[in-house]
Amino acid sequence: MYTLKQRRHERGAALVVGLILLVVITVLAISGMNTATTELAMARNDQNYENAFQAAETGLEQAIAQGSFNTLVNTTLTQTISTNESVTADIRYENSTLVPDRAFSLGVGSGISAYHFIATAQAESRRDPGNTTDRDSTATHTQAFYVVGPEDSSL
């Protein structure tokens, strides 16, 4: 049992402590919501970059799979993968070399050359097609390859 004298010393202490705890809990809740929002934005950005990465890989694969390689002019292929992703692949002729000696292939002087190409795919993934945002992603992938064929000025 409390006496009257003890009650005078406890005036509003529980209220003040309760309000302070309420403020602390509110600050923690707001901080948690901000962290969750930031993590969601990071996940969206990562997904957008992954879409651009995969689009560039698709562009390289499609460019090489089409099989039409020209030593005289560059070949450019443009593909829209979805409303948000597009890719442009460029195949450029580098040079030709004679096939190594007979131990490795048909041999030098056999009329066989290796034609070296560079394929570059530039892809973009847009969050809002038609508008530029700070969440857009791009990826550029390059792959070198060669085609063995008859020794000639044009393939």
Domain boundaries along the sequence of the chain:
4-150
**pTM surpassing 0.85?**
no
Residue 110 pLDDT greater than 80, yes or no: no
pLDDT of residue 140: 94
For residues 151 and 109, the answer to whether their CB atoms sit within 8 Å is no
Tokens 């969440």 sit on residue: 135
**pLDDT at position 136:** 86
Q: What is the pLDDT of residue 33?
A: 93
Read off the pLDDT of each residue in 111-117 and give the average, rounded to a whole number. Answer: 84
What three-state secondary structure class fits 89? strand
Query: Does the pLDDT value for residue 104 go beyond 60?
Result: no
Structure tokens at 93: 């002729």
Residue 21 corresponds to which amino acid? L
pLDDT band per the 50, 70, 90 thresholds, residue 1: low
The label of the residue with tokens 């009650």 reads: 7
